[in-house]
Amino acid sequence: MKIFPLDRLGRVLALVVCGLAAWGVSLVQWRASWRVFVPFVFLLLVLLLGALYGRTVGILGSIIAALVFAHSMYEPVGSLYVDQQAARSSLAWMLLAGVSLSYLLLPSSSHGHRH
């Protein structure tokens, strides 16, 4: 009996990659008009990781990325509150798309088994 199986380690690492990538993307000085689209483009990475490691990674990766973007990219920086309505909408749509697409399209585990 393994305490921390390798497939679980892969999922945890995928979530760490997702969080670090979101943080790295948020450090870029995007034009204000482009910042609204960053979460949608980032969603492609989340769905790719979800396709490799399962729907749980897709769902949690979407949530982690949204939290990182809210904290590090949108004003006021350092807070989870997002001041601009367009940015809040962008994060909400990213969460909705990430969670729903992960649930509907991605396998429930890294082996691709569906129940």
Which residue's structure tokens are 């601009």?
Answer: 84
Structurally, the chain folds into a number of domains equal to: 1
Asked if the structure places residue 96 within a domain, the reply is yes
Contact, 94 vs 58, CB < 8 A? Answer: no
Mean pLDDT, 10 residues at a time, the chain of 115 residues: 70 96 93 90 95 94 97 92 94 96 83 45
Asked if the structure places residue 47 within a domain, the reply is yes
Asked if the structure places residue 24 within a domain, the reply is no
Asked if the structure places residue 58 within a domain, the reply is yes
Domain that holds residue 90: 34-110
Asked if the structure places residue 25 within a domain, the reply is no
Instruction: Give the pLDDT confidence score for residue 2 in this predicted structure.
Output: 54
Asked if the structure places residue 7 within a domain, the reply is no
**Cβ atoms within 10 Å of 102's Cβ, excluding its own:** 24
Question: How much is the pTM?
Answer: 0.86
